[in-house]
Structure 1
Amino acid sequence: MAFSVDSTLKELLADERAREVLRKHLGDRSNDPRINMVLYLSLRTIASFPEAGISQEKLKAIDEDLRKL
């Protein structure tokens, strides 16, 4: 399966390699109580929420790493 920031968070978390990319760029947010609310959203959509704290530069870097998987 090809991954990108347009993949849902659930899809990304289901793959160990994609999880590592997220940890590399975002740290471990697996204990965030809000995670269940965004599982079915794409990472691009999640990044559009200010409280996510994901800049466009960081989103681009994540996308580049995900596409290499």
Structure 2
Amino acid sequence: MAARESEATEAIRLLAAREHELAEAARHAGSLAELVATREDDWARAAAYAQDLRQHLDQRDKELADAKEELQRLASRK
């Protein structure tokens, strides 16, 4: 009888330890999920910024091309 009680006590102890490990893993998983969501937001903002920058640079390229054409036009008049 004492052996069975000892086995049962050990099984309960092991289950409690396992439950604690699972709870800790769940907390880590939650933290990781928050980190991933934050990184996804960061990447989305970076992509939007890159797109805005690309549009700005494209506009500058167009302005420079227009200015170059104007300079060539003025130079050809002389």
Report the TM-score, using the length of structure 1 for normalisation.
0.22
Structure number with larger C-alpha Rg? 2
Report the TM-score, using the length of structure 2 for normalisation.
0.19
Higher helix share: 2
Indicate the structure whose relative CO is greater, using CA pairs within 8 Å and at least 6 residues apart.
1
